[in-house]
Structure 1
Amino acid sequence: MQPQTYILPIDRSANPVIERWVKDGQLRATDEQLPGTNGRVYALSPALLSTVCAADDFHLNVGRERIGVPIYRMPEWEYSSIVRASDTFHQHRIAHLIQPLLVSQQVFQADRWIANVIDAVAGAPLVGPQPLTVGEQWSDDGRFVPEATRLIRRHAFWMLQLGFELPPTRDLDGHGLVLGIDVGLRPLVTVALEGDGSWATGGIVRFTPAIWRQLSVAAIAAGVDTVLVKRTARLLRYSAARELIEEGFLVPVAQTARAVVAERLNYAGFERHIVRQMREEAIRDFLTAWLPQRLHAWGIQFVPTDPAFTSRDCSRIGCNHRNHPSEEEERIEIFVCELCGHSMNIHANAALNILRRGLPEVRG
């Protein structure tokens, strides 16, 4: 088994509770330097450590307190491990509502899906260590390690580190392909392979403002908490995207790759609704946390690279032309070079450009 950690944000509403723990000596500052953060690290007292477990997809139990932590935002292995270690974990019976989100926008039956969400939320939640929103292959492996729990303070924000032991998934022999990936919303991930070839993970159903309004109206009509219904809908969309990314990308990568080249995205340059969608559809967590964490654990080199113009540059060797498309042309899924006429899927073209930019930095 390999030790693994994962860091999640803590809701600021828990700050008074955490400050009380510090004052009472139940949180002790340490000199530890944790990967992925540069804040002050605090260790929990043995009394608190013995109580750490997941309450539901959005909360963690610590001592007598329930603090806001987005448990669902972990990869499937870690998520499954902490759920199986939490006897009082609460969740509604919603797993059957994930697959309907993996169809095309035209096929999605919004009315039926919304009615099923309302029915699920209206019933009593299940209680017990059953990770229902992940695939079966993740249900038996991995162990939650509560003694590795740490809190990290950075200014007015607190973060939570959770620890796990996960089984190794590959023979770290240093062989395999170099992959370039382009991330988006549909498909979520497009992969270009060193040499030739590509594949994509697909995407999940987009929720228009009309669908969100329909959820609210249906919840009110049924006398169900609107906030809970919308939160459940977001959880289902995240779970669907996580399934696609884990099984459609991360598992094949563990078996084939020696290096992965990915875009170094600056979210400050994106429109607010795009950033929200990338969060809700797991892409932001995947690119900033899941991917580097998994690759590090598997001994696969991670090469972040400049994303500028990857969707506009022609990937045909020897061309190097940069298109200047109109707004209407940018929405077209096929890249056609204005100079040489080379055409291919726009996401595959971008993934290939990303791959070639990162290749010089790949270790031999």
Structure 2
Amino acid sequence: MITTHNHRINVDDKQVIQTLITSGQLVATNERVSGLTGQVYAPTPGLAAQLRPLDHGSLAIGGHRLAVELHRLPEAELVALLDHPHAVDFTQHRVAHLLPLLLRKRNFADRQTFVNGIVEALRVGPQRGVSPLVDDIWSGSTWLPDASRIVDNNGLPFLMTAFEVPLSRPDDDGAPRCAAGIDVGLSPVVTVATASGYVDCGGSVHPVTRAEHDAICRAATALGIDEDVVQQLLLLLIYAAARALIETVMLWLQHSASVVYVERIDYTTFKSDFAERGRELAVNDFLSSWIAQRMHACQITVYRVDPENTSQICSRCHLPGDRDGPVFACEECGRSVDAHANAARVILSSGMTTALKRYRRRK
């Protein structure tokens, strides 16, 4: 199956794109790109052969360098990008071994290991042939540079990357499948509730603490490294940790779900500080693109549910309650439950009710 992902290109590189259009290396087409509107440009075979990722934030194209968010890919596609023959110049910091430390509460020894690991990676600098920022081994996927496209989306440039990902619904082993509702957030990143009563609050990314951040920045300053480099590296790690949790949920859904209900989220109101930014971006990408494509490859339907009041309604009696941080309390039922599990159940119930109404109307 072909999957596609859209990456924002830095607006400062619009002139590079215009140069490639003027020279005929980017050709206007009537194609449409999922998730974007605007003029689509296809690379000539010669230009496609020159496309190569340089690092998580840049792509070489026709002798130019585009600043583009290449890191915002699911694990399978990221591995395919880095394994492609065009990626021989790809460099990154050696920090993949630190990912597990962001997925658990860190004790004093963990914090020291994390800080020292980041500082050592900064001291050595980006390297070639470094392990990708994933927690699982993926194979069989292929990046398709000739299918890449540049899109002028209302004056904002985007890169669309395409991948062949050999995903299909696994053969049923007799295990029952059921509808699943998903609540997304920052801690935990994803919570799943199913019609069978199963609930999994997934896991949480434990962000870099202020003390860890300050210690890393002090060491970076002593090494003559700009703080922006530190911020970007930490963001990449936090994003990768959230992506690892999301991939675990998607694999479970692939094997166990019959239909999936998720919220329609307005990310203009989804805010966070820097420490949470990597998780926010991963959750955004998961909801807007990843889950729809992965579930489609497995012949599992995804429905978007109106998010209004999903955090404020009791999943048992369907009356308003009070959410206070991680706890939801319902005076009517006298319940006090995990707020994320309650929201996932509400999303599931709302989605199934809407689906039933649609079915009855068709009848």
Same fold by TM-score greater than 0.5 = yes
SS in 1 for 2:144: strand
- CA deviation map 1:279-324 (0-9, x unaligned): 55611111112112212222211111111222221111xx222024
Aligned-pair Cα RMSD in Å: 2.3
Q: TM-score, normalised by structure 2?
A: 0.90
| Whole-angstrom CA distance in 2 between matches of 1:171 and 1:293 | 16
Q: How does 1:1-364 map to 2 (within 5 A)?
A: 2-85=1-84, 86-104=87-105, 109-128=110-129, 131-138=131-138, 140-171=139-170, 176-209=177-210, 211-246=212-247, 248-271=248-271, 273=273, 277=277, 280=280, 282-316=282-316, 319-324=317-322, 330-331=324-325, 333-362=326-355
The one-letter code matched in structure 1 to 2:23 is D
Is the Cα–Cα contact under 8 Å of residues 118 and 229 in structure 1 kept in the other structure? no
Q: 1:233 to 1:275 in 2, by over 3 A?
A: closer
SS in 2 for 1:344: strand
Is the Cα–Cα contact under 8 Å of residues 237 and 280 in structure 1 kept in the other structure? no
- CA deviation map 1:47-88 (0-9, x unaligned): 211011211111111121121111111001111101101111
| Whole-angstrom CA distance in 1 between matches of 2:161 and 2:101 | 31
Q: Mark the runs of 5 or more structure 1 residues left unpaired by the alignment.
A: none
SS in 1 for 2:228: helix
Is the Cα–Cα contact under 8 Å of residues 314 and 337 in structure 1 kept in the other structure? yes
How far off its partner does 1:255 sit?
A: 0.7
Q: TM-score, normalised by structure 1?
A: 0.89
Is the Cα–Cα contact under 8 Å of residues 83 and 131 in structure 1 kept in the other structure? no
| Whole-angstrom CA distance in 2 between matches of 1:79 and 1:259 | 26
SS in 2 for 1:261: strand
| Whole-angstrom CA distance in 2 between matches of 1:158 and 1:172 | 41
| Whole-angstrom CA distance in 2 between matches of 1:275 and 1:308 | 27
How far off its partner does 1:171 sit?
A: 4.0
- CA deviation map 1:123-177 (0-9, x unaligned): 143224x552113421x2201111101111012211111111111242488x831
- CA deviation map 1:301-351 (0-9, x unaligned): 1111111222221111xx2220245xxxx12x2322111212321110110
- Count of aligned pairs between the two proteins: 352
The one-letter code matched in structure 2 to 1:288 is S
| Whole-angstrom CA distance in 1 between matches of 2:331 and 2:274 | 28
Identity in percent: 34
| Whole-angstrom CA distance in 2 between matches of 1:265 and 1:198 | 21
After TM superposition, the structure 1 stretch with the greater mean CA deviation from structure 2, 347-356 or 214-223, is 214-223
Q: 1:280 to 1:306 in 2, by over 3 A?
A: closer
The one-letter code matched in structure 1 to 2:240 is S
Is the Cα–Cα contact under 8 Å of residues 279 and 285 in structure 1 kept in the other structure? no
Is the Cα–Cα contact under 8 Å of residues 172 and 298 in structure 1 kept in the other structure? no
How far off its partner does 1:214 sit?
A: 3.7
SS in 2 for 1:216: helix
How far off its partner does 1:25 sit?
A: 1.3
Is the Cα–Cα contact under 8 Å of residues 53 and 82 in structure 1 kept in the other structure? no
How far off its partner does 1:109 sit?
A: 4.0
